[in-house]
């Protein structure tokens, strides 16, 4: 029985050995970008929902700390189980004058990377919302101005 042997030239083997690391590193970069963009988008979405939730409160300056505590609880509930490959998440809720500021920062944890490099790869998303009395706002919209 004659077996036909298939001959492959040596340059093909060298070419593949050079291409495979490039392809694998490209795939790792794409996976990292997907994790990064997903976590950044979810952080922005949850910060915006929390800021709008805080805007719906009608409160005075003495009740501001109670509002901040409630907004932290809402933000914690929104963030639960939402992120992929997240190393740490820092949350900040502040009431500054007439604005509600919600900010989230985190590090994306990619396996195969040096920990020193991973500490530099982070995202930061924040939202600032102007607090306003809803009843006053609706009355301002309904006013009809006479243009003469």
Q: Is the pLDDT of residue 71 over 50?
A: yes
Give 62's pLDDT tier (boundaries 50, 70, 90).
Answer: very low
Query: What letters, b where the CB count within 10 A reaches 16 and e where it falls short, cover 17-51?
Result: eeeeeeeeeeeeeeebeebbebbbebbbebbeebb
Q: Is the pLDDT of residue 8 over 50?
A: yes
Q: What is the pLDDT of residues 72-122, one digit of tens each?
A: 888 888 888 888 878 778 888 888 777 888 898 888 877 666 666 655 677
**Position with higher pLDDT, 96 vs 36:** 36
Burial of 78 (0-12, 13-18, 19+ CB in 10 A): middle
In whole angstroms, what separates CA 61 from the centre of its chain? 30
Starting at the edge strand found earlier in the chain, the sheet holding 86-96 runs 86-96, 99-108, 122-130
State whether residue 15 is helix, strand or coil.
helix
Residue 77 has a pLDDT of 87
Q: Is the pLDDT of residue 48 over 80?
A: yes
Mean pLDDT over the full length of the chain: 76
Residue 12 has a pLDDT of 63
CA 71, 131, 99, 123 dihedral sign is positive
DSSP per residue over 99-110, as a string?
A: EEEEEEEEEE--
């Amino acid at each position: 029985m004659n077996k036909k042997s298939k001959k492959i030239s040596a340059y093909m083997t060298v070419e593949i050995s050079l291409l495979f690391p490039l392809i694998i590193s490209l795939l790792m970069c794409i996976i990292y970008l997907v994790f990064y963009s997903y976590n950044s988008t979810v952080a922005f979405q949850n910060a915006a929902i929390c800021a709008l939730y805080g805007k719906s409160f009608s409160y005075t300056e003495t009740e501001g700390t109670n509002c901040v505590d409630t907004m932290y609880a809402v933000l914690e509930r929104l963030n639960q189980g939402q992120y992929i490959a997240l190393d740490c998440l820092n949350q900040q809720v502040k009431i500054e004058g007439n604005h509600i500021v919600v900010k989230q920062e985190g590090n994306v944890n990619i396996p195969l990377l040096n920990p020193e490099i991973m500490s530099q790869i982070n995202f930061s998303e924040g939202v600032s919302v102007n607090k306003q009395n809803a009843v006053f706002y609706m009355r301002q919209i309904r006013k009809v101005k006479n243009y003469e």
